[in-house]
Amino acid sequence: MSVIVVGLEQKHAPLELLDRVSVTEADTAKALGRLRDQPNLSEAVLVSTCLRTEVYAVVERFHDGVAEIQEFLADRSGSSVDALGEYCTIRFDDDVIEHLFAVASGLESAVLGESEVLGQVRRAWERAQGEHASGPVLGTLFRHAVETGKRVRSETAIARGITSLSHGAVALAADRRPGGLAGARVLVVGAGEMGEGVTQALAGRGVDHVVVANRTVERAEAVVAALPPGVADSVVSADLGGLDVLLMSSDVVLTTVGTSHPVVDRAMLEAAVAPRGDRGDLVVVDLGVPRNVQPDASTLAGLVLLDMEDLRAAVAEAIGGRQDEVAAASGIVTDEVERYRAASRARDAAPIVSALRMRVEDARVAELERLRSKRSDLDEAQWEQVDAVTRSLVAKLLHQPTVTLKEAAGTPRGERLVEALRALFDI
């Protein structure tokens, strides 16, 4: 049995490919069902965020398990396994632990230390549990990863400053608009977690007016209602039915919809920029993966279209001075990885240790019962003393073998020791 992760991430794969392979919230149950049904995947968790789609799995046969996940990703991307080859990353066993803990800690994010990814990791695990795809192995791993992410954020300043994609996107929009966001009319398309984060990040930016538009206006209303009273006064909700009109009256647009197809096409934006006159360029930040805005709209005069690649580059420049915090966070990850490994070794050794103790205890009890019939001269108090002495002797004799087994568990030496104990004690 091996634990593996196979997937595509922002450091190695182009945004266009991440667009195609990403799994929206609506598709998650179906995707987990397919992974759950694969013959070589006994457990699976699917992590699909803005800039990564990864499958964590417990596999019975390593190469067959990897192949099944690669086929799953290839099908989602509409390409072949071979075409994904140079972009697809494969990790196994200890590398999986280190990678997941780093992801949960924000060390692998486009926005270093971002707060959103920890929640995404936790929800991915919870969703896999709900779909009966995750089991005890990945459950223990993901639980520890979430604990590690929390510890990194509480003990370091890695999350200082720009701490989320939402804040980074608002900062990017402000940077690309002369005069920043002061007096701007802003449209937020989508009222999910990212849309809510963007709306909150707009507070204090001096915007004139904010519209939160969503498929279900009730969700948009909930986002507005959650804002502080002074902020909520300049924010209204709307549905997407009037998106064309909303685009025309906006100066800045941030799209955050989880969808497989663009919700804003070139024609809509062409109509929106035509009557702007001296209002300056329309700034659109597309935070969707897959993209919410048709990429070919970028050639329109009067439009500044930015996407996740632009955001990643801008944030990398903004947080370049956090290397000391990266070192501190990496140290915590290293500590937690070792703690997880130690706990795993103890769990791996537990069955053989239990079997050994049971075998010796059975022999001790049997021998005492045999002697009882021959030593009628001993009363109950004396037999209790004999019982206590033999228990203590057994505990002392088994202490060192137990410690050695736990320390060596999960290593070739540990496997040799286990086989030796099975042969010597017939367990």
Residue 194 tokens, joined = 């990212």
* Better-scored residue on pLDDT, 165 or 301: 301
* Better-scored residue on pLDDT, 261 or 346: 261
Same domain for 143 and 225: no
The CATH number assigned to the domain holding 88 equals: 3.30.460.30
- What confidence tier does 91 reach under pLDDT thresholds 50, 70, 90? very high
* Better-scored residue on pLDDT, 176 or 162: 176
Q: Which of 364, 352, 366 is nearest to 409 (CA)?
A: 352
Same domain for 286 and 204: yes
Please give the pLDDT value at position 218: 94
Element (H, E) at 274: none
Same domain for 169 and 145: no
Per-residue pLDDT tens digits for 10-50: 888 887 888 889 888 889 999 999 999 999 999 999 999 87
Query: Distance between CA 363 and CA 359 in Å, rounded?
Result: 6
Sheet holding 52-59, edge to edge: 41-49, 52-59, 2-9, 89-92
- Phi and psi of 10, rounded to 5°? -60, -25
Please give the pLDDT value at position 71: 96
Please give the pLDDT value at position 401: 87
- Phi and psi of 212, rounded to 5°? -105, 110
Per-residue pLDDT tens digits for 236-258: 999 998 999 999 999 999 999 98
In-domain check, residue 347? no
Query: Distance between CA 60 and CA 143 in Å, rounded?
Result: 22
In-domain check, residue 47? yes
Same domain for 17 and 131: yes
Residue 333 in this model has a pLDDT that exceeds 80: yes
Q: Write down how long the chain is.
A: 427
Identify residue 63 by its one-letter amino acid code. H
Please give the pLDDT value at position 189: 96
Same domain for 294 and 191: yes
* Better-scored residue on pLDDT, 306 or 161: 306
In-domain check, residue 141? yes
In-domain check, residue 263? yes
Catalytic residues: 50
The CATH number assigned to the domain holding 294 equals: 3.40.50.720
Distance from the Cα of residue 343 to its chain's centroid:
22
Per-residue pLDDT tens digits for 360-399: 888 898 888 888 888 888 888 888 898 899 999 989 998 9
The average confidence (pLDDT) of the chain is: 88
* Better-scored residue on pLDDT, 137 or 6: 6
Element (H, E) at 268: helix 266-273
In-domain check, residue 362? yes
What residue ranges in 50-147 does DSSP mark as E strands?
Answer: 52-59, 89-92
Q: Provide, rounded to the nearest whole percent, the portion of the chain with pLDDT above 90.
A: 50
Please give the pLDDT value at position 8: 94
Residue that terminates a domain, selected from 300, 318, 336: 318
Query: Distance between CA 366 and CA 383 in Å, rounded?
Result: 14
Same domain for 377 and 311: no
* Better-scored residue on pLDDT, 191 or 159: 191
Does the predicted model carry a pTM greater than 0.85?
no
Residue 297 in this model has a pLDDT that exceeds 90: yes
* Count of domains for the chain: 3
Residues 6+ positions from 34 with CB-CB distance below 8 Å: 72
Same domain for 311 and 205: yes
Mean pLDDT of 404-424: 77
Same domain for 23 and 149: yes
Range of the domain at 95: 2-155
Same domain for 93 and 16: yes
The residue behind tokens 């667009």 is: 19
Residue that terminates a domain, selected from 318, 335, 367: 318
Please give the pLDDT value at position 179: 86
Residue 220 tokens, joined = 């948009």
Cis peptide before 290 (omega within 30 of 0): yes
In-domain check, residue 334? no
Q: Residue 338, SS3?
A: helix
Same domain for 176 and 197: yes
Residue 311 in this model has a pLDDT that exceeds 90: no
Measure CA of the first residue to CA of the last residue in the chain; give whole Å. Answer: 21
Same domain for 386 and 289: no
- Phi and psi of 162, rounded to 5°? -70, 115
Mean pLDDT of 272-288: 91
The b-or-e profile of 49-63 (16+ CB within 10 A means b, else e) is: bbbbbbbbbbbeeee
Mean pLDDT of 393-409: 86
In-domain check, residue 336? no
In-domain check, residue 333? no
Mean pLDDT of 327-348: 87
Please give the pLDDT value at position 161: 61
- Phi and psi of 401, rounded to 5°? -55, -40
Same domain for 122 and 200: no
Residue that terminates a domain, selected from 155, 190, 217: 155
Q: Provide, rounded to the nearest whole percent, the portion of the chain with pLDDT above 70.
A: 96
Mean pLDDT of 312-336: 80
